[in-house]
Amino acid sequence: MVKENCGVVGIFSRDGTNVIPMVIDALRALQHRGQEAWGIAIPKKAPIKRLGLVSGASGEYQKITEEYASPAAIGHVRYSTVGKSNLENAQPLKVKDLCIAHNGTIANVAELANLVGGCTFTPQNASDTLVAAQRLVSLMSTNGKLGSALSILKNEMAGSYCFTFVSDDNAVYAARDPRGFRPMVLGSKEDGQVTIVASESSALTAIGAKLVRDVLPGELLKFSNSGMESEMFSEEKKHAHCSFEFTYFAHPTSRMEGTNIYVARKRIGQFLARKFPIKDADLVIPVPDSARPAALGYAQELGIQFDEGLLKDRYSKKGPLRSFIEPHQSDRVEINRWIIPITEIIAGMHVVVIDDSLVRGTSSKAIIKALRRAGARKISMLITYPPIKYPCYAGIDFPSQDELATGVIGDGVTDEQVIDKIRRDIGADFLGYNDAENLANAVGIPLDSMCFTCTSGDYSTLGIKPIFKSREEMKGE
């Protein structure tokens, strides 16, 4: 199965302004959501797609802006999890007169592919986005409008999705899945002449737009010269907002479900301090960068010194990138090599290291080794996210169970035994994980409105019963 968690944007200008420069800037502001490929689509043209970072094509910006000049456009940054890193899998995709960009995962993609004639689907030559687009276009040919098609497709499709579309009749659309797994926000600028939808509000800030509100779960928006139209294609009362967005994935400046991400992370650190008050510690340090606000909140709550004991080398080739969303283990190791300890801060200290999550254990093991070499006397590691025990089928690359640090947990094995095994594997003196209830309380969203499937193994909100496979089986190798 091809799974992706990415970033999407859609912009429409009623006064005819060329929105391509804004799309490029918005995609750069969403780069933390995908580092492998990016693309832009406008009406009546094949999408333009490039591998690598958006900034890597800076020499082409003027040419792209002129050749793709349009008042209606969508864009996409891609982080793949199983699909190959090539332009064929990059987005947006075009099917007939509709271009589509997708953030999320369609969990029953093989079943859906059967509804569009099989579409010769394999992880190497197609994506769940393509299957969804083909089905949508097919439904629109018999049902007319996109909203009617989505109201049918939502019953056929299991998974998470935020879609942006641009049609050949110069309209931009955006749709968010009925559970609200993945985030999506609405913004405007130029006194409402320009309307924007994006995965996060950080993209709005980058182009000088104001956040209007979250796109509602189950809502379809249309932007055209007639203005903005909204309709609900689904009225699902039970939501399942991705909890991992709040600890790691989202940009700290973004506002999501009414909560600023930086403030939420700082509160997570404060609540973590109440759960694990390590009062004999000398120093609290974050694993850069996303754990910084939580580490600060933890230190302030207990009155322990906070400092930057680990720094990323931003001048190395891989240093500025995010290791979690790199698809290859060799690249993740390379990025973590450039997280460098400051011996003068760490030597002789009992250090509390705060990290946002522990997925494979690759980063944690490398960081603890580096802190030992720098002379740390004792290392306690605290994780702001609960233990990840199951793969994610809602758009985050939590790998197959055999790749997770928790491994495949057998019957009769307690959480304490699992955590102690991980502690020994990574070399920490103490290891403590947050729990789902504590995290939800810190964020300020009811526990039953957040998705914690990767920690609980309860896939009922997704409507699936997955058959767990190894990474090799998922790739079809």
pLDDT digits (tens, 9 = 90+) for 384-399: 999 998 888 777 766 6
Mean pLDDT of the 81-100 span: 80
Lowest mean pLDDT among 68-72, 173-177, 406-410: 406-410
Residue scoring higher pLDDT (339 or 29) = 29
DSSP secondary-structure letter at 82?
A: S
User: Is pLDDT above 70 for 466?
Assistant: no
Mean pLDDT of the 276-305 span: 96
Range among 88-92, 105-109, 219-223, 357-361 rated most confident: 219-223
State the pLDDT at residue 338.
73
Structure tokens at 126: 């197609």
User: Is pLDDT above 50 for 333?
Assistant: no
3-state secondary structure of 86: coil
DSSP H or E run through 97:
none
State the pLDDT at residue 398.
62
Asked if 419 and 409 count as a contact pair (C-beta separation under 8 A), the reply is no
User: Is pLDDT above 50 for 383?
Assistant: yes
User: Is pLDDT above 60 for 477?
Assistant: no
Pairing of strands 283-286, 378-383: unpaired
State the pLDDT at residue 314.
67
Lowest mean pLDDT among 54-58, 139-143, 150-154, 283-287: 139-143
Pairing of strands 350-355, 283-286: parallel
State the pLDDT at residue 97.
92
State the pLDDT at residue 59.
95
Asked if 89 and 80 count as a contact pair (C-beta separation under 8 A), the reply is yes
Lowest mean pLDDT among 70-74, 162-166, 220-224, 311-315: 311-315
Q: What is the pLDDT confidence band of residue 323, given thresholds at 50, 70 and 90?
A: very low
Residue scoring higher pLDDT (361 or 164) = 164
0.75 surpassed by pTM:
yes
Q: What is the pLDDT confidence band of residue 443, given thresholds at 50, 70 and 90?
A: very high
State the pLDDT at residue 319.
46
State the pLDDT at residue 387.
93
Residues of 229-245 as b/e, b for ≥16 C-beta within 10 angstroms? eebebbeeeebbbbbbb
Q: What is the pLDDT confidence band of residue 317, given thresholds at 50, 70 and 90?
A: low
User: Is pLDDT above 60 for 293?
Assistant: yes
Q: What is the pLDDT confidence band of residue 171, given thresholds at 50, 70 and 90?
A: very high
State the pLDDT at residue 119.
42
Mean pLDDT of the 234-243 span: 92
Lowest mean pLDDT among 18-32, 45-59, 177-191, 460-474: 460-474
**Mean pLDDT, the chain, as a whole number?**
88
Mean pLDDT of the 309-322 span: 66
Lowest mean pLDDT among 83-92, 221-230, 355-364, 437-446: 83-92
Which residues are known catalytic residues?
A: 6
State the pLDDT at residue 117.
63
Strand partners of residue 12: 72, 195
Alpha carbon distance 459, 466 (integer Å): 8
Which among 422, 438, 341, 411 is positioned nearest to 388, based on CA atoms? 422
Alpha carbon distance 160, 418 (integer Å): 29
Mean pLDDT of the 403-414 span: 76
% of the chain with per-residue pLDDT over 90: 68
Pairing of strands 450-451, 241-242: parallel
User: Is pLDDT above 60 for 247?
Assistant: yes
pLDDT tens digits for range 35-83:
899 999 999 999 999 999 999 999 999 999 999 999 999 999 997 644 4
State the pLDDT at residue 408.
65
Pairing of strands 194-198, 350-355: unpaired
User: Is pLDDT above 70 for 476?
Assistant: no
User: Is pLDDT above 50 for 125?
Assistant: no
Structure tokens at 333: 């190791």
User: Is pLDDT above 80 for 233?
Assistant: yes
